[in-house]
Amino acid sequence: MNPALELLQPYPFEKLAQLKAGLSPAAKHHIALSIGEPKHAPPAFVVKHLIEQLGGLSNYPTTKGLLELRSAMAQWATARFNLQRQPIDPERQILPVAGTREALFSFIQAAAQAGPSAKILMPNPFYQIYEGAALLAGCQPVFLNCTQASNFLPDFDAISSDTWRDCQVLFICSPGNPTGKIIPLATLQKLIALADEYNFIIASDECYSELYYGQKPPGLLEACASLGRTDYRRCVVFHSLSKRSNLPGLRSGFIAGDAAILQQYLLYRTYQGCALPVPTQLASQLAWQDESHVEANRAAYAEKFATAQAILSPYIELTPPEGAFYYWLKTPINGEQFTRDFFLSQNVTVLPGAYLSRLCDGINPGKHYVRMALVAEITECREACERLRDFLKAG
């Protein structure tokens, strides 16, 4: 077996299960705010169309996907990120993928060159797929601490020239999981200049881009276009229907950007054998062509955050996210103990921030935080917040 498998840490939810093992919580119905799985109803018209197209299961799907789907994806990305000057080319600059998780992992296997100095940079805390992808590609993950002092974004100015020279891929995530922070357009432009100077790829995880509560998050391709860089050289972005459209089980998204990179990644994918079934493609096409359900979804999350603020802000430091559906909640004790005690007292599960981050430069930036996902329906989220209020008041 690949010896790099021994380097992989347990997934956060395995650690959470161990933390809760043997505990007997209060006799209240359980509320899970730990997993970032959307619980809102998926768009009925997409589900209906998926069922109507099930006859397409009799056909092998192509890796590149249907032109109709790629065109819908390209049109959406072009409109959303102001790329009208040079629209995304559905033939060369976009590929369907089986959700961003699959694509983020497999992209690194295709893009990275293993070696003792090969580095993949990523935010810390982070989505654990970034780390696993780097390790299994034979590269060293480099963690960029996101702390309150840096506004919960990486301090890119603090990265040494030697590290940039060894960098093969820089992962960014905006809005961030779990911090909910948006990377400004000017920062994206600065990163593009660094990628040119040091010859690395920027892989931008934008799966939360449509969940925002104020400023609309700029995208990496938008930053390219603002610089007149319409070939999107060294830049790729990842988008998904999971959060945008409440369709996590559809496993449908896309990667877009540099045509030369995508040409090689397509070659990799033809061997990997991960193509979207035809019914999935046709249902996805409809989802990318509709914005009304996305607006309703965003409004539902905004209502839940407003409800949480009203209940909790007198009792704990509570900063609403700029995007995504998480609170990155600073805790009065370490996050593991807070999670354990809150579960015992109120039968509500959150996720310790330390499970989403690594020790780096002497600190674990998630140690005194928990991630609280407001994914349940509003009545259950309200009750969870009321239980958290009672837990905090009890000291």
Task: Give how far Cα 210 sits from Cα of 44, 142, 147, 322, 323, Å.
Answer: 19, 28, 24, 11, 8
Residue linked to tokens 């730990």:
34
User: pLDDT digits over 30-87, tens only?
Assistant: 999 999 999 999 999 999 999 999 998 998 999 999 999 999 999 999 999 999 988 9
pLDDT band at 191 (very low <50, low <70, confident <90, very high): very high
Q: Which CATH number fits domain 59-290: 3.40.640.10, 3.40.50.720, 3.40.720.10, 3.40.50.300?
A: 3.40.640.10
pLDDT above 70 covers a percentage of the chain that reads: 100
**Whole-prediction pTM:** 0.97
CATH 3.40.640.10 boundaries in the chain: 59-290
Assess whether pLDDT exceeds 90 at residue 327: yes
CATH 3.90.1150.10 boundaries in the chain: 3-41+293-393
Residues 6+ away with beta carbon under 8 Å from 215? 182, 322
Looking at residue 213, what is its pLDDT? Answer: 96
Cα first-last separation, the chain: 49
CB 284 within 8 A of CB 69: yes
Looking at residue 160, what is its pLDDT? Answer: 97
CATH 3.90.1150.10 fits 3-41+293-393, yes or no: yes
Beta pairing partners, 393:
none
Assess whether pLDDT exceeds 90 at residue 273: no
Looking at residue 395, what is its pLDDT? Answer: 79
CA 16 to chain centroid: 20
pLDDT, mean over the chain: 97
pLDDT above 90 covers a percentage of the chain that reads: 98
User: pLDDT digits over 135-185, tens only?
Assistant: 999 999 999 999 999 999 999 999 999 999 999 999 999 999 999 999 999
Closest to 128 (Cα-Cα) out of 371, 393, 330, 389: 371
Closest to 386 (Cα-Cα) out of 357, 356, 347: 347
Residue type, 246: N
CB 157 within 8 A of CB 178: no
